[in-house]
């Protein structure tokens, strides 16, 4: 079993097979992103990425008593008609997928969006931000994160525009992390239904922010597994790569959340007429959450930097252990080899001319010669072992 | 005896057995915390953690002459009645444990707290902060720290609400670090009894702040022991883990104290009508304490980073020592082995056909051959030993 | 094939041969730049670098309906005459190359530039900046980057002066990255043609900014190749040099972009009369792009620092592997050598005087002596191999 | 002679024997300090440390013509009487030692000090600071440093209170660094005698600040000795400890001086009525000095960090040298041992059954066998030595 | 030839011999400076360093048409007389050398300088700064740098005082970097001669600032040489020392330039009446230069830190190479030694009692025994060499 399989629930079981991309620490995503920006284009030009999904349109219309929910994909005109017919309701127009330039331009004009704003929506690599336009409307960008099975933080953009009685949201994927909010709207007793439509914009920001925590929890679980892997007898392959990879993720997460925090701080500074005090109390709460998410990311970064230290030190320890084995074996046997070599010398007691040479290795002719040598060698080994034991080299570390 | 047992008094004797979790450097706590936050919930929804303790209610009522102290657990109505009956007294309503949602909601309404504030109380992972509400009431969050036997900084939240003649405090544990304050209230001559009720809120903040010092002292003691452990003949297992673990604690402590300092700074900036100048002089003192605690944490962080350097260098030294043993033994005996091998060669003085070969190893037939070789080898060893001695390799480091 | 050839299109195929300068991590460019500044000269003295190109003059004149485009090299007077004759058109005077001091002084006086500004233009090492002069004219410096085949960021200066109905631009090279903009001007339907001339200055800034992305993408590709090279069986020569070299490039890029961002921020703070709100909305967009480029550079810097860690760790791993080979071989054969040496001793069973010495190496005279020794040695080897296998030393890492 | 004995004059000759505490890098002082703070005490409670010295009282009274100097220890009432009797003189009341709670409370009330201020005086661990009280009186804390023979920065607190015609100073030690100032007061021609009493407070601050320089010079000398020690043949024991120890000192020094600088900056911002412009010009000078001391500390910190790098690199070099010795000896003798082993083989020319086996080691029966082998081995050694020489392994580094 | 001889022209040829001080990385200069400050002296006391040079006085008097230049050493009274006699000229009073306390005091009083300012002049260790005094006069300190042959940044202080029609400058050395400016004054056509005298003060600041670039260029050249030295076959001695030494220089340079930049920024903030707008345009240019010098220093610091990484990695590579040689030799010959030892065993085919023991080493009696063993050993070596070749251990890195 792969010891590095994160246990978090948002991990697919296919992780083991697909993990190999998880080894790369370079930011392929950023590079791709850099490459896709076209040079020298007129700012505000709308470009649809080739792989963009066909847009699906959803509408949730509600007030404290009524709830109307429908999909208007390919029925954009009906959607507009419905909106115009029901000024008394609050509407959430939920556009998923950008793959229809004509429709996007229609929406842009119908809802009074600036081409540069629409470019930000479709460009899809914006940092979290808030802009006030038409005096009191808000354009907000949030980034929805997910920690994928490939050990990568996947972040999708959620772009919001507020209007007198609607919130218009864009995202490039069909599935998202907003379902808990949809549930709350569907609930008859939800306070959300009684609040003004600006509260819906807040709730969307907040649910995205809340989703940062499971992302971080998944990363935290993975860091823990990495720590265990460092000390495992059989280290997984390219362990340091994995550590540095998750570091990249955490750093990226921080870079996602910082603008989010700044965005909320900016909302808190907006005048009463745009964001009323009764709503700001909720944004203040969201601000605390953003700070906490940053604290968490900071804490993980420290953990990972400690992991790197541990890894390096463990690498040294392993080398040390190898050297100890070599040293113990060599230190014991090299002197012994000398001794046995000594008595393998061929000094002769006879110079070949019949003269007796009594000084040449008389030990070889002693009756106790061999046992004595064996004994002496045994004692040397015993002393060495004792020395190594005292040094602590015989125990594991 | 475990050389790493901290000597600080807030350590349980059971440390040795339970220390193993102390090896982990990853922030399990933070991860758990991240996981517990529920996604997409309506902000202000009150959630009680499953393992929350049943609330106990304590009341201390006092003025300069009177002191009334009682536990009102399960008698909430009586408590409210008593409060209403004694507007002339100052009250400290001390709620410990959150495990009763209904009671929490009752208190929230009775004492005029905002649901988001109550959520902060129950959520229990808030950074230290202060909020002004209802024009002049204060909502303060402090974090009470403890350095546990598991080498972890345990931090509990103390949430305070001030009212016209009461302070309402919440914490999730039955035991806390506030007993010295309770003693001071009980004392008849305490100035605290003569001060306005806001002073009680200050005193609660201050006693929490004071408790940071024993926490830090315990950490300081432990750091000292770690330093000694580095140079011990037998290093404890996973020593670097422990060093990095305590680093994590110190970093976490700093992250706890920074908001505390900011909180006090914010209190100092509050207008005279909310916090009078006569009270601010005390908060200024608390501010100095918070700065000092941060200085201390900073200083510990530097110490630990030096410990890491020492550890790494010591690891290198140990490797060096292993290599020296290997080198000394090999350098002495490998040449000797060559010499004895040399005279173990079987070059013959007779070519098998009766020819005498005088150049083949005449040494073997010399009367002083063996003693001469022994002597030469002895001299080589002596020279090598002298060389190693000069290099300082024979001494310990 | 050279594994480090960046795949980005702005690489020449001659890379492999010319890469050697890419090994240097020192900032020769900066040093040269430092040396070229003449000491003690009167500020505002115009100096032409010896290798400056002969100036070429280009003029694009346009309004919504008309487009006139011509090269006026060596016909400066005609250019001025044309400008004066057509006050109804917007003009882009595009000067490429500085190698004619007299012409430069003529232009300076004709267009009312300050000598210090002209010195900035010719000096050619200015950071991006904006200056307001003559109450409402702008002097802007941008830096155009390119990631050359020599693994170096090449940056040229684009200096802009705005006037009532013209933009005057200077650069020291004939080729540049502004062609996409020229295309847009040539297009009849371009909004640019309908916008005031200040928009042209914006468009020039923006097209330079857009060009940062391919530069970064090329660097990103190269970083990826470096990562693969670290783990290649045969590491390229001086790999760490290359890593540190690219780090230098990224750091330099950041240092280029920071002033660019600050420049745009300063433009955004200029009063309405100088830069109207309708134009600022575009600069705000450019500001977002500058921030994103900085984010990218930041992210690359982190990647490179991770690369350095990987490199160091891999160096340790390679050493470890070398040591393991040595240890395995030595540990197996040194004890065996002892054993065979043991039975190579010459202890005699006869003391040369006819006494039988039965204790001297009776094994040698045992019928199963040799096979037994062979067997024992085989068992020792088997045990050692098993030990190494358990340690994981026989597998690759 | 101990090579690490600092040569600075404020070192006692007993250094060599007492240096051992100098090995600890952990901040025992800070820990002790943390432990001594009592938890939950009423702020403003006066506590006397058990080891506090009995207070000694000194008084210097002067104006341009008169100078009266006396010790009033145990004669506090006389001192007060004298002060009241001479409103025309400027007085410096110099209290050394805190060991008399009653006296301290008397002074506190007599001189109108706030209990929290008095607590700061006795607590003795305050950062440098300035407080304005009673509208125009100043309470200043300075830290007097000394670099002791134990390689520790010893810092004592000097607390100052200004009054209409006196300065009241507290310190916990009998000896201090203020003697040069006392000398200046005693001099008849000192401008100090003609200046208002606030100038005395300035002069006290300034003389403390001036004393930082010899402290730093002593540290600088010690750093220099450490650098030499790194490259010494016989490194002193625990050299890295000493380096990190002095780093701790420098860091601590910076932490002492920063608040000092901030204190002076705050004094410079005080209104003209409290600190007149004619005095501020002197504080501005002191401010420059504080900045310079910080620069110096910064510079030392860089030096020490370079020392750590040098130490680590030297550790690597020493290991390298050990390895080279091993490698040279092994590389030379292991192949030779093989050769001599080769000719120690016992292949027989006779199979025991009378068959002649001419292929079995004919070399052994060649007349020039032995000399040839010796010659070949000599050539191999010569080639290896040449190889090592070319590699530079035979020279020292 | 010394491979580390900087090629910059401001290097003396005597470098090679005198370089040894260049090895020290500790800041002797700073320590000496710290030691020279006398403790407890009255601020504003003038002290002349013992080794101060005898002052030389120079005067340049000019307006657009007139230029008078003379040395007034030992003729101070004549200089004052000349100044008073020519109020219509602009004067540069150029004092070089401080070694005459009486003269310094005379100048101080004559030109209306404050004792603290004069102390700053003579003290000679001031950071760059600007002070306004007497409402509109400026006191400016600049630091003139030079990169000496001893690899040290030499910095001298240039102190300037402006007056109604003169600039008074002080420096402690006879030679300086101001000659280019003197040349410009001497030129009849210099704009400088037509500008007000404040422009002369600017020009002095600017020429000092310009001189930073050759200093940096010399450092840059040296860094380049160090990089080459790292990879040289024979590394120069104490190479890391040199790297860290030059790092110290760069850090010191930055610390010199930062205050210079702040000084100019402060001048730019001075009101129009003190520094007119027409002059500020030149200071703005100087500000850009200061920023560029800082950028350069920053860039060098990064280069040096990369050098350190390279050095460390190269150290590892060298160790690796040593280990590889050891491993290859050992791995080849240790098994061979075993084999030859094996056949050196003395197992007998005859048990001494006439029994034939056929199992004891029959190989020794085989006719092809010896050639077979030689062949097998040759094959083992070939296989090992192939393995090492595959691993890339036989090639250089």
Nearest chain C residue to E9, by CA? C35
Residues C47 and C155 both lie in one domain: yes
What's the CA gap between E235 and E240, in Å, rounded? 10
D245 within some domain: yes
Q: Does residue C180 surpass a pLDDT of 90?
A: no
Chains with at least 3 CB pairs less than 8 angstroms from chain E: C, D
Structural domains in chain A (count): 3
User: What are the Cα distances from residue D221, in Å, to B380, C11, D218, D300, E359?
Assistant: 44, 54, 5, 11, 77
Question: Are B231 and D238 a contacting pair at CB < 8 A?
Answer: yes
- Give the nearest partner residue to A329 out of C317, C334, C348, using CB atoms: C334
Name the pairing type of β-strands E166-171 and E90-96.
parallel
Residues B221 and B159 both lie in one domain: no
Q: How does DSSP classify residue E235?
A: P
B204 within some domain: no
Q: Does residue A2 surpass a pLDDT of 70?
A: no
Question: Are D315 and B310 a contacting pair at CB < 8 A?
Answer: no
Residues D218 and D192 both lie in one domain: no
What's the pTM value of the predicted model, to 2 decimals?
A: 0.82
- Which CATH number do you get for residue A188? 3.30.460.20
What does the pLDDT read at residue E40? 61
Residues A29 and A128 both lie in one domain: yes
∠ CA C199-C205-C207, nearest 5°, is 100
What does the pLDDT read at residue A137? 93
- Give the nearest partner residue to E335 out of C38, C333, C366, using CB atoms: C333
Nearest chain A residue to B255, by CA? A295
Q: String of b and e for D41-62 (b: at least 16 CB within 10 Å)?
A: bbbbeeeeeeebeebebbbbbb
D337 within some domain: no
What does the pLDDT read at residue A39? 61
Tell me the shortest Cα–Cα distance from A192 to chain C, in angstroms.
Answer: 33
Asked if residues A101 and A108 have their Cβ atoms less than 8 Å apart, the reply is no
What does the pLDDT read at residue B22? 54
Q: Which of A197, A220, A246 is the last residue of a domain?
A: A197
Burial grade of A136 (CB within 10 A; 0-12, 13-18, 19 or more): middle
What's the CA gap between E253 and E297, in Å, rounded? 7
Residues C229 and C190 both lie in one domain: no
What's the CA gap between B103 and B73, in Å, rounded? 11
Residues C348 and C317 both lie in one domain: no
What's the CA gap between E2 and E9, in Å, rounded? 16
All residues of chain B having their beta carbon less than 8 Å from the beta carbon of residue D235 are 392, 397
Question: Are A329 and C310 a contacting pair at CB < 8 A?
Answer: no
Q: Does residue D6 surpass a pLDDT of 50?
A: no
Q: Mind listing the pLDDT tens digit for each residue in E320-366? A: 888 888 888 888 888 888 888 888 888 887 777 778 888 877 888 88
What's the CA gap between E64 and C37, in Å, rounded? 28
Q: Mind listing the pLDDT tens digit for each residue in A253-293? A: 888 899 999 999 999 999 988 999 889 989 998 998 899 88
- Nearest one of E160, E148, E62, E78 to E111, comparing CA atoms: E160
Q: What value of ipTM does the predicted structure carry?
A: 0.77
Q: Which of D197, D225, D249 is the last residue of a domain?
A: D197
What does the pLDDT read at residue D13? 34
What does the pLDDT read at residue B12? 36
Using 50, 70 and 90 to split pLDDT, how confident is the model at D396?
low
Mean pLDDT over E57-83 rounds to 91
E338 within some domain: no
What does the pLDDT read at residue B91? 94
What's the CA gap between B275 and B268, in Å, rounded? 8
Q: Is B94 helix (H, G, I), strand (E, B) or coil?
A: strand
What does the pLDDT read at residue B150? 66
Q: Does residue E396 surpass a pLDDT of 60?
A: no
Q: Does residue D2 surpass a pLDDT of 60?
A: no
Question: Are A252 and C360 a contacting pair at CB < 8 A?
Answer: no
Q: Mind listing the pLDDT tens digit for each residue in C237-278? A: 778 888 888 888 888 888 889 999 999 999 999 998 899 988
Phi-psi region of C97 (alpha: psi -120 to 50; beta: other; left: phi over 0): left
Residues A76 and A103 both lie in one domain: yes
Q: Does residue B190 surpass a pLDDT of 90?
A: no
Q: Does residue E89 surpass a pLDDT of 50?
A: yes
What does the pLDDT read at residue B40? 61
Question: Are C329 and E334 a contacting pair at CB < 8 A?
Answer: yes
Round the average pLDDT of chain E to a whole number and report it.
83
Q: To the nearest whole percent, how much of chain B has pLDDT over 70?
A: 90
Question: Are B291 and D127 a contacting pair at CB < 8 A?
Answer: yes
- E169 C-beta neighbours (distance < 10 Å), count: 23
B234 within some domain: yes
∠ CA A122-A125-A131, nearest 5°, is 75
Longest dimension (CA), chain C: 132
Residues C323 and C373 both lie in one domain: no
Asked if residues A246 and A151 have their Cβ atoms less than 8 Å apart, the reply is yes
Q: Number of helices (H) and strands (E), helices first, in chain E? A: 12, 7
Q: Does residue E2 surpass a pLDDT of 80?
A: no
Residues E174 and E25 both lie in one domain: yes
Please give the backbone phi and psi of residue A94, each rounded to the nearest 5 degrees, phi first. -120, 100
Chain C with chain E: Cβ pairs closer than 8 A: 203
Alpha helix (H) ranges present in chain C?
Answer: 15-18, 28-36, 76-85, 101-110, 115-123, 179-186, 191-194, 197-210, 212-231, 239-269, 277-342, 369-391
Please give the backbone phi and psi of residue D168, each rounded to the nearest 5 degrees, phi first. -110, 120
All residues of chain C having their beta carbon less than 8 Å from the beta carbon of residue A248 are 299, 302-303, 306
Question: Are B312 and A317 a contacting pair at CB < 8 A?
Answer: no
Burial grade of B175 (CB within 10 A; 0-12, 13-18, 19 or more): exposed
Chain A with chain B: Cβ pairs closer than 8 A: 206
- Give the nearest partner residue to B34 out of A181, A217, A310, using CB atoms: A217
- Give the nearest partner residue to D322 out of B180, B291, B327, using CB atoms: B327
Q: Does residue A148 surpass a pLDDT of 80?
A: no
Mean pLDDT over E239-268 rounds to 89
Question: Are E282 and C116 a contacting pair at CB < 8 A?
Answer: yes
Q: Does residue C42 surpass a pLDDT of 90?
A: no
Name the pairing type of β-strands D90-96 and D166-171.
parallel
- DSSP H or E run through A312: helix A277-342
CA C386, distance to chain mean position in Å, is: 50
- Nearest one of A31, A2, A27 to A17, comparing CA atoms: A2
What does the pLDDT read at residue A397? 46
Mean pLDDT over A145-149 rounds to 76
Mean pLDDT over A172-189 rounds to 85
All residues of chain E having their beta carbon less than 8 Å from the beta carbon of residue D397 are 235, 237
Tell me the shortest Cα–Cα distance from D185 to chain E, in angstroms.
Answer: 10
Mean pLDDT over B270-287 rounds to 90
- DSSP H or E run through A288: helix A277-342
All residues of chain E having their beta carbon less than 8 Å from the beta carbon of residue D295 are 127, 255
∠ CA B295-B300-B303, nearest 5°, is 130
All residues of chain B having their beta carbon less than 8 Å from the beta carbon of residue A232 are none
Nearest chain A residue to B256, by CA? A295
DSSP string, E257-315: HHHHHHHHHHHHHS-TTTS-HHHHHHHHHHHHHHHHHHHHHHHHHHHHHHHHHHHHHHH
What's the CA gap between A210 and A180, in Å, rounded? 11
Q: Find where tokens 């002089």 sit.
A: B281
Q: Mind listing the pLDDT tens digit for each residue in D303-321? A: 898 888 888 888 888 888 8
Question: Are B373 and A334 a contacting pair at CB < 8 A?
Answer: no
Candidates E287, E327, E355, partner chain C, best to mutate (most C CBs within 10 A): E327
Question: Are E216 and C31 a contacting pair at CB < 8 A?
Answer: yes
* SS3 sequence of D23-88: HCCCCHHHHHHHHHCCCCCCCCCCCCCCCCCCCEEEEEEECCCCEEEEECCCCHHHHHHHHHHCCC
What does the pLDDT read at residue B80? 92
Q: Does residue E35 surpass a pLDDT of 50?
A: yes
Nearest chain B residue to A281, by CA? B116
Q: Does residue C159 surpass a pLDDT of 90?
A: yes
Nearest chain E residue to D390, by CA? E233
- Nearest one of A145, A292, A159, A289 to A211, comparing CA atoms: A145
What's the CA gap between D276 and B278, in Å, rounded? 28
Tell me the shortest Cα–Cα distance from D272 to chain B, in angstroms.
Answer: 24
- Nearest one of C303, C300, C224, C247 to A245, comparing CA atoms: C303
* Strands ordered across the beta sheet of E56-62: E67-71, E56-62, E90-96, E166-171, E153-162, E137-147, E129-133
What does the pLDDT read at residue A38? 60
Q: Does residue B18 surpass a pLDDT of 60?
A: no
E396 within some domain: no
Candidates D21, D28, D34, partner chain B, best to mutate (most B CBs within 10 A): D34
Residues C143 and C60 both lie in one domain: yes
- Nearest one of B287, B206, B219, B278 to B253, comparing CA atoms: B219
Question: Are D300 and E30 a contacting pair at CB < 8 A?
Answer: yes
Asked if residues E208 and E176 have their Cβ atoms less than 8 Å apart, the reply is no
All residues of chain C having their beta carbon less than 8 Å from the beta carbon of residue E318 are none
Asked if residues C63 and C101 have their Cβ atoms less than 8 Å apart, the reply is no
- Which CATH number do you get for residue E318? 1.20.58.340
Counted residue by residue, chain A has a size of 397
User: What are the Cα distances from residue B137, in Å, to A14, B45, B103, E323?
Assistant: 55, 22, 22, 72
Please tell me which residue, A233 or D38, carries the higher pLDDT value.
Answer: A233
Q: Which of D197, D226, D244 is the last residue of a domain?
A: D197
Mean pLDDT over E219-228 rounds to 88
What does the pLDDT read at residue C76? 92
Residues E146 and E88 both lie in one domain: yes
**Token pair of B138 as six digits:** 């204060």
Nearest chain E residue to C235, by CA? E397
**Token pair of A84 as six digits:** 């115009």
Question: Are D227 and E25 a contacting pair at CB < 8 A?
Answer: yes
- Nearest one of D136, D138, D177 to D156, comparing CA atoms: D177
**Token pair of D281 as six digits:** 């010009």
B338 within some domain: no
All residues of chain B having their beta carbon less than 8 Å from the beta carbon of residue D365 are 348, 350-352, 357
Burial grade of B95 (CB within 10 A; 0-12, 13-18, 19 or more): buried
Tell me the shortest Cα–Cα distance from B160 to chain D, in angstroms.
Answer: 17
Domain range for C94 is 1-197
Question: Are D180 and E116 a contacting pair at CB < 8 A?
Answer: no
Which of A228-232, C219-223, D259-263, E218-222 is predicted most confidently? D259-263
Residues C56 and C125 both lie in one domain: yes
Question: Are A27 and C303 a contacting pair at CB < 8 A?
Answer: yes
Please give the backbone phi and psi of residue C67, each rounded to the nearest 5 degrees, phi first. -140, 120
Using 50, 70 and 90 to split pLDDT, how confident is the model at D1?
very low
**Among the listed ranges C302-311, C331-340, D388-397, which one has the minimum average pLDDT value?**
D388-397
B180 within some domain: yes
What does the pLDDT read at residue C252? 86
Chains with at least 3 CB pairs less than 8 angstroms from chain D: B, E
């Amino acid at each position: 079993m792969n010891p590095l399989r994160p246990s978090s629930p948002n991990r697919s079981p296919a992780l083991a097979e697909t993990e190999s991309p998880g080894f790369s620490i370079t930011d392929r995503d950023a590079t791709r992103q850099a490459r896709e920006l076209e040079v020298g284009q007129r700012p505000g030009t709308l470009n649809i990425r080739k792989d963009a999904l066909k847009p699906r349109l959803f509408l949730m219309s509600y007030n404290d008593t009524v709830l109307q929910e429908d999909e208007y994909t390919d029925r954009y005109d009906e959607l507009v008609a419905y909106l115009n017919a029901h000024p008394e309701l609050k509407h959430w127009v939920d556009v998923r997928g950008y793959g229809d330039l004509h429709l996007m331009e229609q929406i842009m004009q119908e809802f009074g969006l600036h081409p540069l704003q629409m470019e930000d929506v479709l460009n899809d690599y914006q940092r979290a931000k808030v802009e006030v336009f038409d005096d009191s409307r808000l354009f907000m960008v949030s980034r929805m994160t997910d920690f994928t099975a490939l050990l990568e933080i996947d972040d999708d953009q959620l772009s919001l525009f507020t209007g007198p009685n609607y919130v218009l949201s864009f995202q490039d994927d069909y599935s998202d992390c907003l379902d808990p909010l949809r549930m709350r709207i569907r609930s008859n007793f939800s306070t959300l239904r009684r609040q003004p439509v600006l509260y819906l914009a807040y709730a969307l920001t907040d649910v995205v922010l809340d989703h940062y925590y499971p992302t971080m929890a998944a990363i935290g679980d993975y860091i823990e597994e990495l720590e265990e892997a460092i000390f495992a007898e059989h280290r997984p392959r390219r362990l340091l790569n994995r550590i540095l990879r998750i570091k990249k993720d955490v750093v990226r997460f921080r870079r996602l959340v910082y603008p989010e925090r700044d965005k909320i701080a900016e909302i808190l500074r907006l005048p009463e007429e745009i964001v009323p005090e009764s709503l700001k109390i909720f944004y203040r709460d969201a601000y605390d959450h953003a700070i906490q998410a940053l604290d968490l990311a900071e804490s993980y970064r420290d953990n990972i930097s400690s992991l790197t230290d541990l890894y390096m030190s463990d690498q040294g320890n392993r080398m040390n252990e190898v050297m100890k084995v070599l040293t113990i074996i060599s230190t014991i046997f090299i002197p012994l080899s000398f001794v046995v070599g000594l008595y393998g010398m061929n000094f002769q007691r006879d110079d070949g001319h019949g003269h007796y040479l009594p000084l040449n290795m008389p030990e070889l002719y002693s009756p106790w010669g061999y046992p004595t040598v064996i004994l002496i060698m045994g004692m040397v080994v015993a002393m060495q072992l004792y020395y190594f034991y005292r040094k602590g080299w015989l125990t594991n570390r």
